């Protein structure tokens, strides 16, 4: 006689599947048997790859630049924060290798996307590199994989751009695969703070994705901070660099004000910095530069325009900082 399943029994196979996929990956990460793939070997990807290779994970680095792959395979680093001697040692030990073959992503248990996110000439987000990377990941996505996006972008990218493409494979997030966002916080050339001692923020599409991403990063990074969603994690990076952009603009404007008043701005900043609370020194310069500060606030500003909201502080700071080089040239 066939006994019909009770309602609780009927859902048990799905629950077991979720637990087994997550549990298996958790075990792989904890025992360092998880295979890690880094997509994009630039100033973010290469340091991340070497960090996890040093932490006893087997790491492959994928890049579309064949010359870069060949150089890394020969033990040469193109990133100042990663010595060639370190790359050569890791490659020789078999802990890390570079490849231009996207099919190898299928072998990875954890895939981290670290591709550039520039702006178009019109000042809008250029997501083609993310789109291309996600297409490659989706082509070989399998049950039990954890995918993490590190590329700086506007809130909603992980959920609205990355997730739909991955679920087009027929796999379901939180059951078959796991997806999170963790903003890169690389400060090239910083002698004090690198990947291992800079806290890592992560937020997943679901609770299991968040937990697995946090567990992964804890294997090589001293402190991991989990937030409630990928949108919060995406916003963290934009807040950090918008904070810097706005305060640099204030310092640049103060420099021009002091010049008009015949006051030494450096003396003023130095004296103000003696206050032990309520003040953080920022310094004027010929504008604002670097990989992130000129771009990240614009990503947020663009996103808010789609919601009919004007980011006045961001736009004013951008205006001040963009004018600054012209001012310096005139003064020179």
Of 111, 61, 99, 109, nearest to 82 by C-alpha is 61
Q: Which residue has tokens 């290469």?
A: 46
Q: Which residue has tokens 């083609």?
A: 128
**126/122 Cα distance (integer angstroms):** 10
Delineate the domains of the chain, giving CATH numbers in brackets.
7-228 (3.40.50.720), 237-331 (3.40.50.720)
For residues 26 and 100, is the Cβ–Cβ distance under 8 A? no
**62/104 Cα distance (integer angstroms):** 9
Per the confidence metrics, is the pTM higher than 0.95?
no
> How many Cβ atoms from other residues are within 10 Å of residue 172's Cβ?
14
User: Which amino acids are annotated catalytic?
Assistant: 292
| 10-residue stretch averages of pLDDT, the chain, 332 residues long | 40 56 96 98 97 98 97 96 97 97 96 95 92 97 97 97 98 97 93 96 98 98 98 97 95 96 98 97 90 88 94 93 92 88
Task: Describe the crossing of helices 296-305 and 230-261 by its angle, rounded to 10 degrees.
Answer: 110
What is the reported pLDDT for 121? 87
What is the reported pLDDT for 5? 41
What is the reported pLDDT for 292? 84
Considering just the CA atoms, what is the radius of gyration of the chain in Å?
23
């Amino acid at each position: 006689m066939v006994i019909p399943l009770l309602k609780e029994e009927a859902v048990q196979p799905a629950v077991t599947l979720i637990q087994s996929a997550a549990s298996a990956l958790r075990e792989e990460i904890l025992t360092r048997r998880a295979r890690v793939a880094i997509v994009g070997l630039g100033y973010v990807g290469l340091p991340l790859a070497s960090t996890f290779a040093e932490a006893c994970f087997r790491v492959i680095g994928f890049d579309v630049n064949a010359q870069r792959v060949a150089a890394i395979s020969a033990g040469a680093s193109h990133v100042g924060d990663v010595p060639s001697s370190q790359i050569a040692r890791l490659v020789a030990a078999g802990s890390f290798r570079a490849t231009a073959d996207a099919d190898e992503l299928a072998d990875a248990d954890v895939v981290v996307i670290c591709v550039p996110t520039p702006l178009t000439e019109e000042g809008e987000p250029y997501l083609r590199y993310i789109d291309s990377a996600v297409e490659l990941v989706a082509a070989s996505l399998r049950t039990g994989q954890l995918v993490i996006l590190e590329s700086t972008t506007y809130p909603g990218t992980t959920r609205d751009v990355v997730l739909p493409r991955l679920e087009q494979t027929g796999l379901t997030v939180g059951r078959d695969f796991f997806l999170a966002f963790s903003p890169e916080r690389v400060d090239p050339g910083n002698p004090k703070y690198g990947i291992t001692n800079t806290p890592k923020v992560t937020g997943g599409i679901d609770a299991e994705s968040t937990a697995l991403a946090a567990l992964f990063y804890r294997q090589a990074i001293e402190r991991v901070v989990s937030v409630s969603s990928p949108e919060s994690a995406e916003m963290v990076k934009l807040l950090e660099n918008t904070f810097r952009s706005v305060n640099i603009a204030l310092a640049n404007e103060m420099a021009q004000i002091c010049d008009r008043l015949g006051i030494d701005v450096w003396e003023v900043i130095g004296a103000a910095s003696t206050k032990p609370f309520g003040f953080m020194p920022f310094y004027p310069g010929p504008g604002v530069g670097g990989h992130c500060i000129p771009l990240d606030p614009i990503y947020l500003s663009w996103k808010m325009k789609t919601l009919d909201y004007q980011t006045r502080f961001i736009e004013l700071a951008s205006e001040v900082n963009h004018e600054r080089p012209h001012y310096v040239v005139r003064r020179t």
